[in-house]
Amino acid sequence: MAFVRGAKIKGMGSYRPIATFDQGWAKRERDISVIIIHDDFNDTPGTFLDAHAITPINIPATIWTYTDPSDSVRTDGSRMFNVGASPYQPTVDAGVDDIIGSFVFQKNTAGETGTISYLVRYQDDNNSWVMRASVSGDKLFLLEQVAGGFVNRSSTSVTISAQTDYTLNVSARGTTLAMDLNGLNQLSYISSLYQGNTKFGVMFGGADYEVGDFKVIV
């Protein structure tokens, strides 16, 4: 077992294990990823998110928090959804700032406008990295949010259909930020802005969206 510098994991300092495999003709190494937060939103339908316990994995023992009214985001038994069209921003504290993350999302109604985003290195509601799927414009955006304003650092066109699940994948490793949709259409940008912030979450930019299987991985 070898080690490389990476995200701090309790009991391992600032090193992550690397597994080495002998395939007979070559040896290769890959990171052993550890899921530290996985919320499948399995709860009584209608449960307010701030009263919901994260399951099945919650190593940091964190909770969902947000500054909006407590009834603005709820669970439906297997997904998280927003009530109304305000840009609600529920977040969790992972305790680390270098992560890989993902969630599954779906827009329920054809023609629905708005956006859904994975918040990365969230500082507050006005300052964070915003990895956005623009459902109305069929685009991905890697956005820098500063003082409530957005700067487009990278974007690409995609196709997002109603009543279809999509996986939004994100990564924050050192100064490299990246995202993709279903493993395709990758965007990336280099910046040290917001390094050290350990909160991650979801930004609802419209009504009629559902988010499931929220994950934070180190």
Name the pTM for this structure. 0.84
Residue ranges and CATH numbers for the domains of the chain are 1-32 (no CATH), 34-217 (2.60.120.560)
Mean pLDDT, rounded, for 34-62: 95
Instruction: Tell me if 7 sits within 8 A of 182, measured CB to CB.
Output: no
Whole-angstrom distance, CA of residue 32 vs CA of residue 218: 9
Cis omega (within 30 of 0) for bond into 69: no
Q: Residue 27 pLDDT more than 80?
A: no
> Rounded to 5, what percent of the chain is helix, strand, coil?
0, 55, 45
Q: What pLDDT is recorded for position 23?
A: 36
- At 5, the pLDDT band (50, 70, 90 cuts) reads very low
Across 6-10, 63-67, 157-161, 173-177, the highest mean pLDDT is recorded for 173-177
Whole-angstrom distance, CA of residue 59 vs CA of residue 207: 31
- At 206, the pLDDT band (50, 70, 90 cuts) reads confident
Mean pLDDT, rounded, for 40-61: 94
Q: Quick count: other Cβ atoms within 10 Å of Cβ 109?
A: 11
